[in-house]
Structure 1
Amino acid sequence: MKVHFENKKPLLHKSLTYMESRLPEDVFFRANRQYIFNMDYIKKIEPYFNSTLLIELQNGQRIDLSQRQSVKFREITGV
Structure 2
Amino acid sequence: MWETWMGPNGEELETVCIVTTTASRTLRPIHDRMPVIVPPEAFDLWLDASVVDALTAAALIAPAPDDLLEAHPVSTAV
Q: TM-score, normalised by structure 2?
A: 0.23
Richer in helix (by share): 1
Q: Which has the higher contact order (CA 8 A, sep 6+)?
A: 2
Larger radius of gyration: 2
